Amino acid sequence: MKELLAAKGGKPSIPDGTVKPWPPIDDEDRRMVLSSLEGTNHAFGPNCAAFQEEFAAWNGNRYALTTNSGTAALHMALVAAECGCGDEVIVPAYSWSSSATCVMQHNAIPVFVDIDFDTMNIDPNKIEAAITPKTKAIIAVHLHGLPADMEAVMAIAAKHGLKVIEDACQAHGAKLNGRKVGTLGHCAAFSFNQNKCLSAGEGGMFVTDDEDMYQRAQALWSFGEQTAPTGRRDYHVYAMGWMYRNSDLCAAWGRAQLRKLDGYLAAQRENAACLTSELAGVPGLILPTVPDGYHHNWYNYTLRFDMEALGHAQDAPSFRDKIVSALRAEGLETGIWQAFILPAMTVFQAKDGYGHGCPWNCPHSQPVDYSVEDFPVAARHLATHTGMTTPLRAPNGTEVAKLVAGAIRKVMSDLDQLS
Ligand SMILES: Cc1ncc(COP(=O)(O)O)c(C=O)c1O
């Protein structure tokens, strides 16, 4: 006999309190944060300088600047890549909002390219059609922790003389053919926001191996000055600047978490592999793809529902929402990661960032088209996905992954109860 779903009054598959919260905090975190607190430099201090060095060494970059968010690091990357007024920057049509709004922050114009359904990353086959004489850079997002097809992206960029910015905000430790993200393009941004694989509450890191890019990013980062805040400053503004530096307390916590990051990533990989094997063959599910040579960090384990097979092609989003509600009733923390594809967001449809239509009506820019029907793959992904993070993160182990699989199998085996 089939079990009654929790949404219909049955017993939840995952009892309350089973899933441990993210990130795990231990005495090392407490010691590092308290020692920063008890120090005398709470702005950009010794922990910030050390965090930059340690993260650069961990990731294999020459230069790193710690920021107060991943979005700040992305804006710095735009400036490092010399993108400015009226320049166009190619961005995948499905990502976090600031993968695109960072472009506008320097008066440049985002141009969207559809994603590949299997990898959920930018479709390299569609990039060249979006390149114009105004294109300056491509932002390759490693969505949910799977590297974008950087070999194809870098080849296109070399052919057209473009810079490649990696949005690695979700992808700490992900690799392509043995090389870590953040070392594959010309520069990259990482996030240390609460939900990320390396969490320091908030924060980010700009990384590059290129000295000129580093200098330009550094100027934007600290008021348009040319000297690092630990050096002898002349307090002179040489270029347009923001204040994107990190605080010593966040950097202290980031350093403590960095020491444990490889262990966390190994646990995530094991949990994701366990879930994939437990869900193999469940009708109506499309499991995540990991092409050969790709090393996923499993920041977000994203499932898609095969709405054609389930007979719900016409009402995919609402039927997906019913499945997600039923999974949540089973005690599974899962949900829609982004509710809109990027070009459908109001700021792009209205083409108004700074008022008066700026930057789209800037005399240096040319018209761009944000018709949402040009991104059918991103729209299909949007309508059929659900994702999860915490249940597959340390300290949760494969025993939790098995409960997660049980919840999903239970709901998928009796979707009639949702009708
Ligand atoms: C792909 C992607 N890019 C950029 C960001 C921005 O990072 P932050 O929240 O640290 O500004 C995020 C954060 O969610 C993200 O997921």
The 10s digit of each residue's pLDDT in 216-246 is 999 999 999 988 888 889 999 999 999 999 9
- Burial class (CB within 10 angstroms; exposed 0-12, middle 13-18, buried 19+) of 27: exposed
The ligand 1 atom at the shortest distance from the C-alpha of residue 203 is 10
Which pLDDT value is given to residue 1?
A: 61
Q: In the structure, which protein residues have their CB atom closer than 6 angstroms to any atom of ligand 1?
A: 69-71, 95-96, 98-99, 141, 167, 169-170, 191, 193, 204
Report whether 198 contacts 190 (CB < 8 A): yes
CA distance 286 to 374: 23
Q: What is the mean pLDDT of residues 124-128?
A: 98
Q: What is this structure's pTM?
A: 0.98
Residue of 190, 193, 300 to mutate, ligand 1, most atoms within 8 A of C-beta: 193
CB 297 within 8 A of CB 197: yes
Residues of the chain with pLDDT > 70, as a percent, come to 100
Closest CA to 143 of 342, 349, 394: 342
Q: 349 CA to middle of ligand 1, Å?
A: 21
- Per the annotation, the verdict on 180 as an active-site residue is no
pLDDT at 57 over 70: yes
pLDDT tens for 4-53 read 999 999 999 999 999 999 999 999 999 999 999 999 999 999 999 999 99
> Angle at Cα 169 formed by Cα 163 and Cα 173, nearest 5°?
95
Instruction: Report pLDDT digits (tens) over 239-297.
Output: 999 999 999 999 999 999 999 999 999 999 999 999 999 999 999 999 999 999 999 99
Token pair 């009654």 is at which residue?
Answer: 4
DSSP code per residue over 107-135: T-EEEEEPBPTTT-SB-GGGTGGG--TTE
Q: Given 136, 196, 351, 410, which residue is catalytic?
A: 196
Nearest CA among 371, 337, 378 for reference residue 351: 371
Q: Does 363 have pLDDT greater than 70?
A: yes
The pair of three-digit structure tokens given for residue 411, joined into one six-digit string:
């709901």
Phi, psi of 311 (to 5 degrees): 75, 25
Ligand 1 closest atom vs CA 102: 4
Q: Which atom of ligand 1 is the closest one to the Cα of 98?
A: 4
